[in-house]
Amino acid sequence: MADTMGNENSSVTENDANDDLPVDPSAVTEEDKKKAEELKEEANAFFKNEDYTRAIEKYSAAIKLNPFVSPYYGNRSFAYLRTECFGYALSDASKALSLDKNYLKAYYRRASANMALGKFKLALRDFEAVTKVKPNDKDARVKYNECNKICKRIAFEKAIASDENFAKSVADSIDIESLVIEPSYDGPHLEDGKVTVDFVNALTEAYKEQKKLPKKYVCQILIQAKNIFCEQESLVYIDVPEKSKFTICGDIHGQYYDLLNVFKMNGKPSEENPYLFNGDFVDRGSFSVECIMTLLSYKLLYPKHFFMARGNHESLTMNQMYGFEGEVKSKYSAQLCELFTEVFNWLPLSHCINKKILIMHGGLFASDEVTLDDIAATQRNRQPPESGIMCELLWSDPQPQKGRAPSKRGVGVQFGPDVTKTFLERNNLEYVVRSHEVKNEGYEVMHDGKCITVFSAPNYCDTMGNKGAYITVTGDNLTPNFTSYEAVPHPNVKPMAYANPFFGLF
């Protein structure tokens, strides 16, 4: 959960904020209490203006002066939710409740964080606690009922998934020939069921005009793409010849018009202009179908020169919460949601360029013992687990300080420059490239130049004001070159337009 607004360099982390706190309420002076309230009001103003990083800084400063006020933690928890730091949000909400078990907003915050992490039963427990305290509160009852519906649906889906009658994959069960192209359709056509250059060029133009590709063609492209991904290992090795350029892009998150702008600036993908897109193609932005279908079409057109890695948002829980499932259902059907999930399950987890640059969506590992062979052998045809190599490849983040720390997201780990150095030396690599986090310039270089973040969705969610970026290298010079760019206009469809209605309850 490109997952991905957090910026550990500019915000005060929870651990920082808890250094040297007063341990006795009587030790807090009236002056400190007054100053803490002023800081809280400043934080609230930043939050209202969607400057969540500055809001977190101010809430943290207030906590440092007076750590015994539950709303400070509750408000900071809300800001962490907005920056996808779900681990910190959980911790702050729990701290708020330890100070005041009747502070109902903290139950909501903790439930929201658990919902975002797919821990619906834990979320339901908090909503239930609120309804017991306030049985006549309609708002609390609505939230409880909505979460309960999700829990029941998941239980039902698990039950039918265990039935052998449902074991057959969606890709195998679809009868392509029975799908009909309407006579009125005037968009691009596959040629003998295959993607061509003319098809992709026409498709990008049709999508630009908000036209829709017929379900038959979508199914054909998805099934063919799945077959290609199934043949690859979890770690794909890429050879870039001398003097040849190679482009690495980060999160796209359904921002189709910004994706087209990358191709306008850097050239369309081709055998002479290869690309790697490093996960989080979908969710949040409301043109996710257009993004993923364009990228998969290029994958079919140039299977050895166009690469796609799985991100944390290429997963069922994220798609259910952050918009992709809703968008696919709106534009097509629930069956296609299942087919997309099957394709996402087979996306490679990482890529290695010239055996020197390792690229993954999230980051490095809880153990120093992980090797490239371990990554290649990782079984990936599943939903991401909550720990282990696959989880960490999709969810981890770098931190400036040495060592490791619990993830601010609640999943994966945070790793320092020493962890990066050890991993690179063990595997004879020069540096790692990852995505997963918004950066003001679209990229950031950390860990003595050995850990690079690239994020390609400018003005993320139409609110963050960040630039997007992509990286280019050549086969004989693996030094990264960065290109930053601003967002371009898009049709008047807001981000998260198809997100789970649950988000509207907070």
DSSP string across 456-488: --TTGGGTS-PPEEEEEEETTEEEEEEEEE---
CB atoms within 10 A of CB 490: 19
What angle separates helix 70-82 from helix 104-116, to the nearest 10 degrees?
20
3-state secondary structure of 444: strand
**DSSP collapsed to 3 states, 178-205:** HCCCCCCCCCCCCECCECCHHHHHHHHH
CB 60 within 8 A of CB 91: no
Output the CA torsion sign for 211, 215, 216, 220: positive
> Exposed, middle or buried, 85 (CB in 10 Å: 0-12/13-18/19+)?
buried
Question: Which of 380, 227, 192, 216 lies closest to 300, judged by CA?
Answer: 227
List Cβ neighbours of 153 (8 Å cut-off, separation of 6 or more): none
Residue 35 host element (H or E) = helix 30-48
Alpha-carbon separation of residue 50 from 43, 47, 63, 465, 498 (angstroms): 10, 5, 20, 11, 21
> CA 300, 304, 305: angle at the middle one, nearest 5?
90
Rounded to whole angstroms, how far apart are CA atoms 442 and 251? 10
Question: Which of 306, 169, 304 lies closest to 226, judged by CA?
Answer: 169
Query: Residue 361 carries which DSSP code?
Result: S
3-state secondary structure of 357: strand
CB 293 within 8 A of CB 221: yes
For 343, half-sphere exposure in the C-beta direction (CA atoms, 13 angstrom radius) is 24
* Residue in 253, 305, 313, 447 annotated catalytic: 313
CB 95 within 8 A of CB 107: no
Q: What are phi and psi of 480, to 5 degrees?
A: -75, 135
Q: Which amino acid is at 268?
A: K
Query: Residue 284 carries which DSSP code?
Result: S
351 is catalytic: no
Q: What are phi and psi of 350, to 5 degrees?
A: -165, 165
State the residue for tokens 């279908």: 293
CB 489 within 8 A of CB 501: no
Catalytic residues: 313
